[in-house]
Amino acid sequence: MISTRNPFKRTAMSVAIVAAAVVSGTAYAGVTDKDIVQDAATPGDVVSFGMGTQGQRFSALDQINVDTVKDLVPAWSMSFGGEKQRGQESQPLIHDGVMFVTASYSRLFAIDVKTGVKLWKYEHRLPDGIMPCCDVVNRGAALFDNLVIFGTLDAQLVALDRETGKVVWKEKVDSYKAGYSMTAAPIIVKGMVISGVSGGEFGVVGRIEARDAKTGKMKWVRPVVEGHMGYTFDDAGNKKDNGVSGTVNATWPGDLWKTGGAATWAGATYDPETNLIFAGTGNPAPWNSHLRPGDNLFSSSTVAINPDTGKIVWHYQTTPHDGWDFDGVNEFVSFDYTDPKTGKVIKAGGKADRNGFFFVLDRTNGKLLNAFPFVNKITWADSINLETGRPNYTKGGRPGDPSESKDGKKGEVVFSAPSFLGGKNQQQIAYNPDTGYFYVPANEWGMDIWNEPVSYKKGAAYLGAGFTIKPLHEEYIGALRAVDPATGKIVWEHTNYAPLWGGVLTTRGGLTFFGTPEGYLRALDAKTGKEVWSFQTGSGVVAPPVTWEMDGDQYIAVVSGWGGAVPLWGGEVARRVNFLEQGGSVWVFKLHK
Ligand code: CA
Ligand code: CA
């Protein structure tokens, strides 16, 4: 039966075929909306980015705990192979005995999760001339029914058959020649695949799109730059106006909103309790803020969208009139917040923003509940006004206007912290309901930044700024911090020489796992921050670990492979960490018994 279906593989990869037959079988049930909504509560699988669409990255498993973690050992490792190493930022998914993990250069692997044997690999054919700003990364796939769906560096969405790796549908999202690309993991909401776009450094227009996950056909699109029309689509593909986002020219002057950026490059989270999709939006384009007076909605914000209507329900802008490329793409993580004044439990969300402040919002309406720094040095704002929800800007914190300089070519240079790579960047936070803490992989760095004249040219960098990133301390840049959302206190921190660029996992076992560019996967006591375990993976870890249970054993997995934005954009920091080696592999661990 297998041999007629797959004659080539029978000889070349007989072991894999046996494994594939066992896992595929006839009893396989596809991933459902219910599986996805319940993902966080079902430790037998990981079927969504964020280990649950709310994005908490918390597991109730406790077999691996503060006492037993010393016996955690590798079960297997698999190389992504080839010459295509570079940044590996992917979160693996695990379902029905198979791991699905993406790799650099738009690759996707299916692996027998018991043995580590590769079942199949998909290598997307990338054209010359793709323009990913920040390395050839991918952060993961989405599962729905029998499909594995991911975005590619040439701005396509590809759905593969989970069993064979064959393309079932493929949709062009936008033109890579105009600077669009895709690096985020899509999420599934009500049978729709929800995706964003990368390209904020090229003057793209950020948006969230919803497609029928089974067919790839468009359901709705919602631009997140004020002035652009949203659309819904019928089954025949006819599009219908669905209202303009915001009001044309209310917070943008002239025509700049037409190439306004606000790239949704880190994707979105979804909260089934409020039925809202939360998308982070990137910097307004260009970086030179003197060209675009106003708040420039909905850039550098969290935008809440109703998946049934494709309309914006609320927004909260973390950096109005962003002049530092602070973006606002950082994930918005739903959690129950106990108001310290009233003791009332509020449906809230937490976000560690690139601009250095941690924000707690009421996730039903976007109202600010708390905001506090999670890094040591912030130069652009003194604080966030809890009444108005707006920053108290620091005088002289904004890089100068080049048109006020002598030759009109370079504005006043300002030293700014955090650097534009952020107090936190793509590396995902985690929330542990047992401790009540968020775990934030933070970085302490600043930048010299200045503005220059610039005009939009399709497919060209659209910054109008120059910069040099610098460390703030000799001893460390990275700091994993346990943050109390109610008090705003940093409860403990674990510092790291290189900048942290990998996400966090936290568990009922009282542990917090994270990786370092130096190659270590580390486990800390979630309460105290004390290091209780580490393992050297052979290359830098810039991806989030996951955990699941299989046949009575708890497993941990993480991808290893140094890269991402730091070596490309990091200035003095990039030089400081240029001893780090690239790689590309996935590691799986369990307790030695
Ligand atoms: Ca699950
Ligand atoms: Ca940006």
- pLDDT tens, residue by residue, 445-490: 999 999 999 999 998 999 999 999 999 999 999 999 999 999 999 9
Centre of ligand 1 to C-alpha 321, Å, is 39
Alpha helices in 101-193 (DSSP H): none
Judged against a pLDDT cut of 60, whether residue 78 lies above it is answered with: yes
162: pLDDT strictly greater than 90: yes
Mean pLDDT of 577-590: 97
| Dist. CA 69–CA 65, nearest whole Å | 5
For residue 461, give the ligand nearest its CA: 2
CA–centroid distance, residue 283 to ligand 2 (Å): 5
pLDDT in tens, 97-126: 999 999 999 999 999 999 999 999 999 999
- Using a pLDDT cut of 90, give the percent of the chain over it: 93
For ligand 1, the distance from its centroid to the CA atom of residue 43, given in whole angstroms, is 5
Distance from first CA to last CA of the chain, Å, rounded? 38
Q: Residue 133's pLDDT is what?
A: 87
Q: Give me the amino acid identity at 62.
A: D
* Strand order across the 553-560 sheet: 72-79, 585-591, 553-560, 546-550
User: What are the residue boundaries of the structural domains of the chain, listed by start?
Assistant: 12-591
| Residue 11 scores a pLDDT above 70 | no
Confidence of residue 10 (pLDDT cuts 50, 70, 90): very low
For residue 535, the CA-to-ligand 1 centroid distance in Å is 25
Order of all β-strands in the sheet with 118-123? 93-95, 98-103, 107-112, 118-123
How far away, in angstroms, is 271 Cα from ligand 2 center? 25
Q: Which ligand places an atom closest to the C-alpha of 201?
A: 2
* pLDDT at residue 19 tops 60: no
Q: Ligand 1 center to residue 329 CA distance, Å?
A: 25
**Structure tokens, 76:** 């297997």
Q: Left, alpha or beta for 9 (phi > 0: left; psi -120 to 50: alpha)?
A: alpha
- What is the Å distance from ligand 2's center to 287 Cα? 8
Give the closest ligand to the alpha carbon of residue 327: 2
Mean pLDDT in residue range 197-216: 96
Phi then psi for 352, rounded to 5 degrees? -95, 105
Q: Does 325 participate in catalysis according to the annotation?
A: yes
* Residue 469: φ, ψ to 5°: -85, 140
Tell me the CATH number for domain 12-591.
Answer: 2.140.10.10
User: Which of the ligands is closest to the CA of residue 547?
Assistant: 1
Residue 12: what pLDDT?
A: 40
Label each residue of 33-54 as H, E or C: HHHHHCHHHCCCCECCCCCCCC
Lowest mean pLDDT, pick from 83-92, 177-186, 250-259, 374-383: 83-92
Provide the strand spans (E) within 204-281: 207-212, 218-223, 229-233, 239-244, 268-271, 276-280
Q: Which ligand is nearest to the CA of 319?
A: 2
239 forms beta bridges with 233
Strand, coil or helix: 563 = coil
- pLDDT computed for residue 88 by the predictor: 98
The Cα–Cα gap between 206 and 284 comes to 10
- pLDDT tens digits along 27-67: 567 999 999 999 999 999 999 999 999 999 999 999 999 99
- The average confidence (pLDDT) of the chain is 94
What per-residue confidence (pLDDT) applies to 27? Answer: 59
Q: Residue 493 forms beta bridges with which residues?
A: 481
For 350-411, the three-class secondary structure string (H helix, E strand, C coil) is: EEECCCCEEEEEECCCCCEEEEEECCCCCCCEEEECCCCCCEEECCCCCCCCHHHCCCCCCC
What confidence tier does 83 reach under pLDDT thresholds 50, 70, 90?
confident
Q: Select which of 39, 325, 353, 525 is catalytic.
A: 325
- 22 pLDDT exceeds 80? no
Ligand 1 center to 45 CA (angstroms)? 4
